[in-house]
Amino acid sequence: MAVDRKQLILEAAKKSFSLFGYKATTMDQVAKLANVGKGTIYTFFKNKEEILDEIVTSLIKDMKTEAEKAVDPNLSFEENIHRVLLRLLEFRKSHQLTIKLFQEEKELGTRAVSDVIQRVEKAVIDYMKGIIQEAVDRGEIKECNPEITAFVMLKTYIALIFDWEKQHPPIEKEEISKLFRLYFFEGLGK
């Protein structure tokens, strides 16, 4: 059976990035984990950044698949956007690689990692922008800038799920749903 060396390298790099972070991962570690010579890596990739880029491209594709699974055409925009955001953030929370990358970006500010995180967030915002525009077109929500709205919705979810938990107990999904409905669909005014 032929071994797909490129795939072995990608899996090894993903494992190393997940365990040690991007900055601390070396090509020697990746070669050792993949059980290939270091030179073999360079037949497929110019550098570590190119490996990370390919891994993240696959990650974004997986995230989009998860988001699409969350959408139910029989539900309202409000319910679907909540389902998509929760699914994407749970995906991010449950994948060791994304956890490590977000941690590294916050703690070390590694440029390549910051670029990757921006790329992931842009992909999520672009996906949500489409859902928002469809809801506007159907008259289900008011006319708005779909990209800004997607950005604000995503950042609100991130704040409620990740940032809040740094100093407080986690908020249950149902409570997040209520807060989201209050802030985005009902408003705080009386």
How far is Cα 136 from Cα 161, in angstroms, rounded to an integer? 27
What the block records as the tokens of 142 is: 């008011």
Q: What is the mean pLDDT of residues 24-34?
A: 94
Instruction: Determine the residue type at 46.
Output: K
Query: What per-residue confidence (pLDDT) applies to 120?
Result: 87
| pLDDT band for position 2 (cuts 50, 70, 90) | very low
Of the candidates 12, 57, 18, 71, the one whose C-alpha atom is nearest the C-alpha of residue 38 is 12
**Phi/psi at 181 (nearest 5 deg)?**
-60, -45
What the block records as the tokens of 52 is: 């990370």
How far is Cα 86 from Cα 74, in angstroms, rounded to an integer? 18
Predicted confidence (pLDDT) per residue in 56-98, tens digit: 999 889 888 988 999 998 998 988 888 888 888 788 777 878 8
Instruction: Return the axis-axis angle of helices 77-94 and 96-107, rounded to nearest 10°.
Output: 80
Of the candidates 122, 131, 71, 62, the one whose C-alpha atom is nearest the C-alpha of residue 94 is 62
Q: What single-letter DSSP state applies at residue 24?
A: T
**Weakest-pLDDT range from 25-39, 127-141, 159-173:** 159-173
How far is Cα 176 from Cα 148, in angstroms, rounded to an integer? 20
Predicted confidence (pLDDT) per residue in 108-117, tens digit: 888 888 898 8
